Structure 1
């Protein structure tokens, strides 16, 4: 990574925990201005009832407005399989640009076929305002941020570094949580290990912010740690565990995991940048359930 990390820039980070999906969304404020970014927003769904609501997103919107902030970016660390993005809903109210990793096109191609979306579904990432390549930079106010391609969980996973804070998506969990699964289509445990090493090559004092926390062993929910803590204590990759050890562990563990409860609606919405599928002939919107498709 050729971009120099500036640990003297310390953005203000406000986390918002969604208990329904164990997701943490973030408002990240440039310390030198009123500019901010939102990372990994959540749209609420009652899947059994087919009902979409926006309580979590409205909380983010209220915070941005109450603090007098200007939203410049809505960052998706990856195409989430366990919650729906609220990025377009927030964008309509606060502005900003929606960004994701360029390999969204790989994910769109894969799941466009799974959900039999047809040729009208664009697989070129055009649903997003910016597709990030490894090492790309962007501005939040006066703060230069950059994106690191960290695939393995999904092909499009990116870690976003903003000053002394890095938002790792599902690449890492808290030290006692380890790492995310690598068995989704396009996932790869070896790639995930390599990506984690890229994150752990950042300075030890770099703050790391998780996309999810599940409170292992009944502890309280937490979402902030450091590179140094992960290197020393992460149960899957800490203390110099080898690539071979990690791949063996991850492969065996992934075979025991059930599919996320919201994977069917999440993928259909998130591969569209957070928009719902287009209306059918009757004017209503529908989500598909592919039988034996995942």
Structure 2
């Protein structure tokens, strides 16, 4: 049985979210939802996430899963808010605990912040099987961009997070704490071993020069043939050298610190302080 897949694009962060539904049972998963955030005003909003709520309710769907491909550093997750609106179990890769430990140290969160992934309902191990209604799915650990990156394989569809972009744009950066270009290359080769017609659904499209329309879907065959960073014939050492040199020229994402602090909590906002106000921190000279 083929999944029904609807994409949602967030213009502010060039991010894609998805609703993956089983037509038979009407059960679904929400992948990588975005919480609106106005950094200058310090305000969050739910317009982007509300589109998902409206779609789910309008199609008579029941949310079984909220799936995060990784701890995003470029947008805040709406998973916690959506869970409150629609239910479902919030899941991420089991290596999230390693990422939490790294950033809890950078943010000086102390022992009050548990670095064990307990903010999530399910921590997927590599190769673990699960279901979306009657659809069979599998969680694949594809680290490199971050240590906890996961790809969710649902039939002939794979939700790859930031591991790959459109062929004309290339691959994910690996210079965040715990990132590793060599691991990324090997993760990509694992994806390239999937059948040629496997559909790859991306978390971002930043528009390569010369292309004017955003795209969210490609295939294993197209990536293997034409990805500008890692097409067939590009060896591991050459890829690692290219990726490391390229990463050295990149700026940190504009929303990295707000995103990390919310997303490591499963999309929940920090607890209010004694004045009733929630705060996000920006550590100086730590990145």
Same fold (TM over 0.5): yes
2:89 pairs with 1:61: no
Please, which of 122, 126, 137 is the counterpart of residue 130 of structure 1?
Answer: 122
The CA deviation string for residues 17-63 of structure 1, in whole angstroms up to 9 with x for no partner, is 00100000000111332011000000000011100101000000100
For 1:292 and 1:212, how far apart are their aligned partners in 2? 28
Does the residue aligned with 2:77 lie in a helix, a strand or coil? coil
| Greater CA drift, 128-137 or 278-287 | 278-287
For 2:38 and 2:206, how far apart are their aligned partners in 1? 20
For 1:170 and 1:100, how far apart are their aligned partners in 2? 14
Q: Which residue of 2 is the match for residue 182 of structure 1?
A: 174
Superposition deviation, residue 203 in structure 1:
0.5
Q: Which residue of 2 is the match for residue 74 of structure 1?
A: 66
For 1:198 and 1:58, how far apart are their aligned partners in 2? 35
Q: Which residue of 2 is the match for residue 97 of structure 1?
A: 89
Q: Which residue of 1 is the match for residue 131 of structure 2?
A: 139
The CA deviation string for residues 107-150 of structure 1, in whole angstroms up to 9 with x for no partner, is 10000011111111010100000000000111100111000000
Query: TM-score by structure 2 length?
Result: 0.98
Q: Which residue of 2 is the match for residue 6 of structure 1?
A: none
For 1:32 and 1:280, how far apart are their aligned partners in 2? 46
For 1:287 and 1:53, how far apart are their aligned partners in 2? 16
| Greater CA drift, 15-24 or 237-246 | 237-246
Query: TM-score by structure 1 length?
Result: 0.96
**Is residue 231–residue 240 contact of structure 1 (8 Å, CA) maintained in 2?**
no
Q: Which residue of 1 is the match for residue 229 of structure 2?
A: 236
2:2 pairs with 1:10: yes
Q: Which residue of 2 is the match for residue 20 of structure 1?
A: 12
Superposition deviation, residue 218 in structure 1:
4.2
- Specify every segment of 5 or more residues in structure 1 that has no aligned partner in the other structure, as ranges: 1-8
Q: Which residue of 2 is the match for residue 262 of structure 1?
A: 255
**Is residue 80–residue 270 contact of structure 1 (8 Å, CA) maintained in 2?**
yes
Q: Which residue of 1 is the match for residue 238 of structure 2?
A: 245
Q: Which residue of 1 is the match for residue 286 of structure 2?
A: 293
Q: Which residue of 1 is the match for residue 78 of structure 2?
A: 86
For 1:170 and 1:215, how far apart are their aligned partners in 2? 14
Please, which of 18, 21, 39 is the counterpart of residue 47 of structure 1?
Answer: 39
Superposition deviation, residue 10 in structure 1:
1.8
Please, which of 189, 205, 221 is the counterpart of residue 214 of structure 2?
Answer: 221
- Specify every segment of 5 or more residues in structure 2 that has no aligned partner in the other structure, as ranges: none
The CA deviation string for residues 201-236 of structure 1, in whole angstroms up to 9 with x for no partner, is 110010000000011114210010110111111111
| Greater CA drift, 85-94 or 210-219 | 210-219
For 1:121 and 1:69, how far apart are their aligned partners in 2? 34
